[in-house]
Amino acid sequence: HRVLLTGANGFIGNHILAQLLSAGFSVRAIVRSQSKADSLLQTHSSAGHNLDFSIVPDITAHDAFTEAYQSEDPVDTVIHTASPFLYREVNNNHDLLDPAIKGTMEILKGAKNVPSIKRIIILSSIAAIMDYSETSPPGGRLWTDRDWNPVTWEETSQAEDYSTVYRASKTFSEKAAWEFMKEQKPHFDLVSLNPPMVYGPILHPISEVSQLNESNLRIWDLFINSSKGAELPPNGVYSYVDVRDIALAHVRAVLKPEVGNKRVIVGAGSVTSQEIADILRSEIPALAGRTPVGNLGENTLPINPYSVDIGPARDILGLEFLSKKATFVDLARQLLEIEKGN
Ligand code: NDP
């Protein structure tokens, strides 16, 4: 396979790139600048001829990907992950909405002119599935691929918190992609992969922990750069998956014909703040004074918890998931090394 991958330098993008290369695929990685391409080449230095680059400075521009799609070696699959998930550099709601929606549309429009393309895989989110304002009914709530976040444009334009706008950006961009498929009936199929919170060790180089991607930064801020006596943080979105598993889901989605035109939720299950704290405190002695204690072993899930339907990820993509210990201990150990300057 020859795959065109956007957002290749991101937290998840880097893991996808690594796994595509180790599956023996040839990859054209799309990034915003030459320096980001240079850095990727260092991280994936053994890729050789299997890795080339295309620089697309603005994914919202008209015909943004026309040049990137021109390849002597025909591309058969596109994986689109480039989309802002970084609240820190956002000035207004459009900084989150425009790249998400227009970037997705440009990828799809550009592919219409490339007959060799058979499949487009977009990295969406359970943000496009769950209704975050809903309290689960008695017995809990299972979110499936048939559900859509009901957020509206009106709510989004009035929203003052970036998490609502981020979730809307994922919802509107994935919806636009499925509408494009329905209206344009292109020669390729579409797959959307919808992970919950993604955590785990990073492959992309950072010099300071403050440069961490948004989801891992949450673990650093609340569970590592904290103190023993601090209050245990709220559970937040407690469905999660390891970055290595969502990356593998992309490789499987390239390979499995039967996943065509499906949305697939890729989650490992639920994890509470108490579980994360318990794992880190028991596995990493250096965190004894830094990770909040809470009440060891207490089940802090709500009485009626929600969960996400991971049956299709198991059955269609054949995924098994890493343990919580692997995810949080591998991440925390790496962050402690980065803190030391290693
Ligand atoms: P990162 O911030 O590490 O990566 C984001 C990637 O998207 C980078 O390659 C970044 O490029 C690119 N990007 C961001 N904004 C723009 C823009 N305006 N124009 C062009 N490219 C842009 O985050 P993640 O790896 O976590 O996120 C990747 C994808 O995964 C996103 O689509 C996100 O919504 C989705 N996701 C992430 C989850 C998580 O918990 N991490 C959960 C569910 C979904 P650059 O370096 O140039 O900014």
For residue 103, the domain's CATH number is 3.40.50.720
Residues 6+ apart with CB under 8 A from 20: 3, 5, 27, 79, 250, 251, 254
**pLDDT for the residue numbered 342:** 80
Residue 331 pLDDT:
98
Which atom of ligand 1 is found nearest the CA of 124?
44
pLDDT for res 80: 98
**Does 279 fall in a domain?**
no
* Domain presence at residue 247: yes
- Rounded distance between C-alpha atoms, residue 35 and residue 17, angstroms: 17
> Is the beta carbon of 294 within 6 A of some atom in ligand 1?
no
Tell me how far the alpha carbon of residue 125 lies from the centroid of ligand 1, in angstroms.
11
In a domain, 177, yes or no: yes
pLDDT at 320: 97
Whether residue 123 has its Cβ less than 6 Å from ligand 1: yes
CA dihedral 233, 10, 245, 334 (to 10 degrees): -60
Q: Is 77 a pocket residue for ligand 1 (Cβ < 6 Å)?
A: no
**Total-model pTM:** 0.98
Q: List pLDDT tens digits, range 47-72.
A: 999 999 999 999 999 999 999 999 99
Is 328 domain-assigned?
A: no
In a domain, 184, yes or no: yes
ipTM over 0.90: yes
Six-digit token pair at 341? 């300057």
Q: What is the pLDDT of residue 87?
A: 77
Ordered DSSP codes for 153-221: HHHHHH--SHHHHHHHHHHHHHHHHHHHHHHH--SSEEEEEE-SEEE----S--SSGGG--HHHHHHII
CA distance to 18, 25, 75, 282, 311, per residue, from 287 (Å): 30, 40, 46, 9, 35
Q: Is the CB of 213 under 6 A from ligand 1?
A: yes
- Whose C-alpha lies nearest to ligand 1, atom 5? 10
- Ligand 1 centroid to Cα of residue 199, in Å, is 13
Looking at residue 89, what is its pLDDT? 75
Minimum-distance ligand 1 atom for the alpha carbon of 6: 9
Of 48, 21, 169, give the one whose Cα is nearest residue 101. Answer: 169
pLDDT tens for the chain, 342 residues: list them.
999 999 999 999 999 999 999 999 999 999 999 999 999 999 999 999 999 999 999 999 999 999 999 999 999 999 999 999 987 778 888 999 999 999 999 999 999 999 999 999 999 999 999 998 888 899 899 999 999 999 999 999 888 888 999 999 999 999 999 999 999 999 999 999 999 999 999 999 999 999 999 999 999 999 999 999 999 999 999 999 999 999 999 999 999 999 999 999 999 999 999 999 999 999 999 999 999 999 999 999 999 999 999 999 999 999 999 999 999 999 999 999 999 988
Range of the domain at 146: 2-200+243-267+301-321
Q: What is the pLDDT of residue 182?
A: 98
Number of H-type helices and E-type strands within the chain: 10, 12
- The encoded tokens of residue 1 equal 């396979």
Phi first, then psi: give them for residue 128, nearest 5 degrees.
-90, 0
The predicted pLDDT at position 333 comes to 98
The whole-angstrom separation of Cα 79 and Cα 5 is 5
CA distance 338 to 149: 37
Is residue 105 in some structural domain? Answer: yes
CA of 76 to the centre of ligand 1 (A): 23
Q: Write down the pLDDT at residue 37.
A: 98
Best mutation site among 40, 59, 81 for ligand 1, i.e. most ligand atoms within 8 A of its Cβ?
Answer: 81
Residue 263, helix vs strand vs coil: strand
Measured in angstroms, how far is the CA atom of residue 265 from the centroid of ligand 1?
Answer: 18
Which pLDDT score is estimated for 151? 96
* Number of domains present in the structure of the chain: 1
Residue 218 lies in a domain: no
- Please work out whether the CB of residue 292 comes within 6 Å of at least one atom of ligand 1: no
Task: Give me ligand 1 centre to Cα 22, in Å.
Answer: 22
Domain membership of residue 288 (yes or no) is: no
